[in-house]
Amino acid sequence: MTLERIVQKLDELEKEEGKLPELIQFYHRIMQIQAGVGNQLEKPSPGLTRDTAKERLVQGKPLLEASEFTFDWTLFQNTLREATDVFSEFSHFFDLTPEVFRESPPEQLISRDSIEAWFEGKEIPSTEAISQDVIRELIHAAVRPFLMNYAGTLIGFVEQETWRRNYCPICGGNSDFAYLEPENGARWLLCSRCDTKWLFQRLQCPYCQNQDQNDLSFYSDDDEVYRLYVCEKCKRYLKTIDLRKAGSEVEVSLERLLTYELDVQAREYGYLPVG
Ligand SMILES: [Zn+2]
Ligand SMILES: [Zn+2]
C-alpha cells in the first residue's frame, strides 16, 4: 500500500472520529511528510538483473545493500527538517523538550555515514541531548519514502517461496507486524523499515528463529482478529492480524499503527518489541 493511501485512510478516520489518539496524530503528520516526498520520487534503477537478484536471494542476501541505497541528499535533508519539527512538537514522546531539537539540530548531526550505519544496524553518532534511539527514529522517518521507493521496484525480483528468512528480502530489516492470509492463514511478515511483505513459517519465532513449540504461543482477542505471537526464548512479541477474520479490505500497514494498545499489553505481559 502506498503512503498516500495510508494518509488518506487516516484523514478519513479523523473525519469520522474527530480527534485521533495522540500517537496516531504523530504518525499521521509524519506520514503526510513521507507521502509528499514519495510522490516526488522517480523509480530507481534496480541495478540488478533477474539472475543476479536470484543469486543474492538464494545466498540469503537482501537485494539492497547500504552502498547501493542512494537518494537526493537535499530532498532528504528537507524531509529530515520537516520530520524534526513534528518530533519537536511531540517531544514528550521522547522524554525531551522542544528546545532540545532547536539547540542541537539533528540535521547537523546526521550525515551520509549515519544513514549507512542506520541501514546496517550499527552505532550512529548521537549527542548527550538526543539519544541514539531518537536519532534512529528520525532517520527512519526521513529515509522511509526513499527506501519504500526502492522496495517497490525490487519486490518484483523476490520469489516468496524460496526466501522465507527472518529478515526483509529487500533491505534486511526486521519485521514488526504480520498478517495471516485470508485464503489459507499463511503468515506474512511486514518489514519495520520499508513495508515489504514476505512469507514466513507460522511455527517459528521471526526474531531468534526458535522452532520449539513449547516456547511459542499466541494471545488472541475475543473476536480473534488480532494475535500477539510471543516467544519464551527471546521474550519478543509480534503483533498479527488474521485476515481470515478481519477481511482482506484491511490495510495492514495502517493496522500496525492502530494496534498500539497491543504493544502496551505485550509489554505488560513482559515481552519486548523488536529492535
Ligand atoms: Zn525492508
Ligand atoms: Zn524468539
Mean pLDDT of 37-61: 93
Q: What is the 3-state secondary structure (H, E, C) of 178-243?
A: EEECCCCCCEEEEECCCCCEEECCCCCCCCCCCCCHHHEEEEECCCCCEEEEEECCCCEEEEEEEH
CA of 192 to the centre of ligand 2 (A): 17
Chain segment 179-227, per-residue pLDDT in tens? 999 999 999 999 999 999 999 999 999 999 999 999 999 999 889 999 9
* CA pair distance 229, 219, nearest whole angstrom: 7
State the ligand closest to the CA atom of 210: 2
Kindly report the number of other CB atoms within 10 A of residue 21's CB atom: 13
- Residues forming beta bridges with residue 227, ordered by sequence position: 220, 240
Tell how far the Cα of 249 is from the centroid of ligand 2, in angstroms: 30
222 Cα to the center of ligand 1, angstroms: 32
Element (H, E) at 163: helix 160-163
Burial class (CB in 10 A: 0-12, 13-18, 19+), 114: buried
Going by the DSSP 8-state scheme, the letter that residue 20 receives in this structure is P
Ligand number nearest to the C-alpha of 217: 2
How many angstroms separate the alpha carbon of residue 61 from the centre of ligand 2?
Answer: 22
What lies within 8 Å, CB to CB, of 150 at 6+ separation is 44, 64, 69, 170, 171, 194
* Contact by Cβ (8 Å): 153, 95: no
- Cell numbers 519514502 correspond to 145
Say if residue 1's pLDDT is above 80. Answer: no
Whether the Cβ atoms of residue 30 and residue 83 lie closer than 8 Å to each other: yes
Q: Could you report the per-residue pLDDT of 239-255, keeping only the tens digit for each?
A: 999 999 998 789 999 99
- For residue 64, report the distance from its CA to the centre of ligand 1, in Å: 9
What per-residue confidence (pLDDT) applies to 40?
94
What is the distance in A from the centroid of ligand 2 to the CA of 120?
A: 21
Torsion of CA 243, 245, 251, 253, to 10 degrees: -60
| pLDDT tens sequence across 90-117 | 999 999 999 999 998 999 999 999 999 9
According to the model, what pLDDT value does residue 247 have?
83
- C-alpha of residue 71 to centroid of ligand 1, in Å: 16
CA of 10 to the centre of ligand 2 (A): 33
Instruction: Please give the residue that has the higher pLDDT: either 2 or 194.
Output: 194
The 3-state DSSP class for residue 272 equals: strand
pLDDT > 60? residue 39? yes
188: which strand partners? 179, 199
The x, y and z cell numbers of residue 93, run together, are: 514522546
**Can you name the residues that pair with 120 across neighbouring β-strands?**
none
| pLDDT above 70 (res 275) | no
Q: Say how many Å lie between the CA of residue 223 and the centre of ligand 2.
A: 26
CA of 215 to the centre of ligand 2 (A): 8
> Length of the chain in residues, anyone?
275
